[in-house]
């Protein structure tokens, strides 16, 4: 069974750095041509794609947040980590991770985590 689970702080202060972890199971981050993205959703608002890491370790970032984001993976731990610097109250959102099979056999983001709510407040 393929699962993804997000973890991280519930509350961060403005200007702090947020670190979120996506723990995956049921597939490999380096052998199965699988990539993982982070997506967020502020309360009552639309989905916003943030960052993606490919099986090759290539990374791609949302243009507007590029300078604040870093995505990485630890294949031995089956984890994908997102860091976001200089947090602001507008970054309050539910943060999801989701996986995608790369290439012609892709079914888009076919498995998602349940999401983790992060509030930015002093």
Partner 1 sequence: DFQMTQSPSSLSASVGDRVTITCRASQGFSNALAWYQQKEGKAPEVLIYATSTLQSGVPSRFSGSGSGTDFTLTITSLQPEDVATYYCQKYDDGPLTFGGGTKVEIK
Contacting residues toward partner 1, per CB under 8 A: 37, 39, 46-49, 52, 60-64, 96, 98, 100, 106-110, 112-115
Taking the C-alpha atoms of residue 76 and residue 70, their distance in angstroms, rounded to an integer, is 19
Residue 64 or 76 with smaller CB distance to partner 1: 64
Q: 3-state SS of the chain: helix, strand, coil percent to 5?
A: 5, 50, 40
Give the C-alpha distances (Å, rounded to integers) separating 107 from 47, 99, 115.
18, 10, 20
Taking the C-alpha atoms of residue 122 and residue 120, their distance in angstroms, rounded to an integer, is 7
State the greatest distance between any 2 C-alpha atoms of the chain, in Å, as a whole number.
46
Neighbours of 38 (CB within 10 A): 26
Shortest separation between residue 119's beta carbon and partner 1, angstroms: 17
Shortest separation between residue 68's beta carbon and partner 1, angstroms: 15
Residue 90 or 122 with smaller CB distance to partner 1: 90
Residue 19 or 54 with smaller CB distance to partner 1: 54
Shortest separation between residue 47's beta carbon and partner 1, angstroms: 5
Shortest separation between residue 63's beta carbon and partner 1, angstroms: 5
Residue 15 or 72 with smaller CB distance to partner 1: 72
């Amino acid at each position: 069974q393929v699962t993804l689970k997000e973890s991280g702080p519930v509350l961060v202060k403005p200007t702090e750095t947020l670190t979120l972890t996506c723990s995956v199971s049921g597939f490999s981050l380096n052998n199965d041509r699988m990539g993982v993205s982070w997506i967020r959703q502020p309360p009552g608002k639309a989905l916003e794609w943030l960052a993606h890491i490919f099986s090759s370790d290539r990374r791609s970032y949302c243009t507007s947040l590029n300078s604040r984001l870093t995505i990485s993976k630890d294949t031995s731990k089956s984890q994908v980590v997102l860091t976001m610097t200089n947090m602001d109250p507008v970054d309050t959102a539910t943060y999801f991770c989701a996986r995608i099979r790369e290439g012609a056999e892709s079914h888009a983001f076919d498995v998602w985590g349940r999401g983790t709510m992060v509030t930015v407040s002093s």
